[in-house]
Structure 1
Amino acid sequence: MDVHNVALTISAVGPKQYPTNELPEIALVGRSNVGKSSLTNTLINRKSFARTSSQPGKTQTLNFYNVEDQVYFVDVPGYGYAKVSKAEREKWGFMIEEYLSTRSQLRGVISLVDARHAPSEDDINMYNWLLYFDIPVLVVATKADKIARGKWNKAESTIKKALQFDNSKSEFMMFSSVTKDGKDAVWEWIEDRMTDEVVVESATKEIN
């Protein structure tokens, strides 16, 4: 997509604040500092439109970015930051779970992991949770420029093995906001999801 117009529509904490139009939505999830803002800025051709918080774990809202009046990117609060209190983590967890499991406009989730490391327990839990709710998933391994290209296959294998990656329900891509590797492929995946029918089946499944 050729992006010229982007706007932060709302920073929401619950369903009553979500946008009321029917634009498709793509959510971005991942640990704090994994690179969600960098991925968003690369996709929309901006340097710092989606800002990285100066304090990891500070972002506490679902941020809805309207891209060309065709799709929303929904930036989900980062997980796994130790200095956030247990009560805060539980509150965020409910907000995130409520959005991901009930939002009919949601067409897919980009789950970000660090290409340099094996996925954390939180990464694995999030991936399995998304598969449980039958949400299309694109696993994006960020910061790929920080490892030699000859080691990309090994990094991909390590990540997929830890996630017990399901090729029938999800896709995988390496990405770098520095070299722009993976940008076009990520956009391809997004555009394919934008034309999909709604596939939210949360109404038939319990939220644990």
Structure 2
Amino acid sequence: MEIKQAEFTTSAVKPGQYPEDGRVEIAFVGRSNVGKSSLINTVTNRRKLVKVSQTPGKTRLINFFIINNQFYFVDLPGYGYAKVSKSEQAKWGGMMEQYLINRPQLKKVALLVDCRHKPTGDDVMMYEWIKHYGYQVIVVATKKDKLNKSELQRSAKVIKETLKLNPEDNLVFFSSLKKEGKEELLNEMFKDIEL
């Protein structure tokens, strides 16, 4: 899959604001500082498609981006950032759950984790949520450039064990800085998907 065109379409907080054209959607979710914006920009070949913030927790809406005029990338709010109030966190959780519960267009979810750290309780809960709602999940371990080869092997073991990955779940290591893992991630995203 080659991405030739990517544009911001709309932001939403409730189902009535989601696109209604029935196109396939692939969502991205992860902790607030995991590098989600950078990853989407790298995958779409657009440096500023998604605003990259120095302040974690900036994505507070569900953002839809039309790709190749064929399908959507959906950027979900980051979670697990301590400086956000509990009521705000609960609001985001409700918004994301609402999206995940009843979205037949959503075919896959990329769950981003930082390869330098053991997945958090929030990451485990998000993985279980995605599986509970019956979506295919791709676990993307970001910031690959920060680890050497043996550290990456250890990281893969820790991520698989902590999330209790199923054999059919894919783990892709990714570096936005070096653009490593991009082809593999795109291949995983579009495997078994009819556009």
CA contact (8 A) 2:118 2:159 kept: yes
How is 1:1-208 mapped onto 2 (pairs within 5 angstroms)? 1-168=1-168, 170-195=169-194
| C-alpha distance in 1 between matches for 2:147 and 2:31 | 19
Encode CA deviations 1:141-168: one digit per residue, 9 max, x unaligned: 0000000123211110011111111113
Unaligned runs of 5+ in 2: none
| C-alpha distance in 1 between matches for 2:176 and 2:55 | 21
Q: CA deviation at 1:43?
A: 0.7
Provide TM-score, normalisation by structure 2. Answer: 0.96
| C-alpha distance in 2 between matches for 1:45 and 1:157 | 30
| C-alpha distance in 1 between matches for 2:136 and 2:154 | 24
Encode CA deviations 1:62-113: one digit per residue, 9 max, x unaligned: 0000001111010000000111111111111110001012111000100000
- Say which SS state the counterpart of residue 191 (structure 2) adopts: helix
Encode CA deviations 1:134-191: one digit per residue, 9 max, x unaligned: 11000000000000123211110011111111113x2111111122221001101111
CA contact (8 A) 1:53 1:59 kept: no
Q: Which runs of 4+ in 1 moved over 3 A?
A: none
CA contact (8 A) 1:71 1:194 kept: no
Residue 180 of structure 1 aligns to which amino acid in structure 2?
Answer: K
Q: How many residues align?
A: 195
Provide TM-score, normalisation by structure 1. Answer: 0.90
CA contact (8 A) 1:144 1:174 kept: yes
CA contact (8 A) 2:6 2:46 kept: no
Instruction: State percent identity of aligned pairs.
Output: 46
Encode CA deviations 1:14-62: one digit per residue, 9 max, x unaligned: 1111001111000000000101111101111122221123422132100
Unaligned runs of 5+ in 1: 197-208
CA contact (8 A) 2:29 2:76 kept: yes
Residue 42 of structure 2 aligns to which amino acid in structure 1?
Answer: T
Residue 81 of structure 1 aligns to which amino acid in structure 2?
Answer: Y
| C-alpha distance in 1 between matches for 2:180 and 2:149 | 11
| C-alpha distance in 1 between matches for 2:192 and 2:39 | 17
CA contact (8 A) 1:9 1:64 kept: yes
| C-alpha distance in 1 between matches for 2:10 and 2:54 | 20
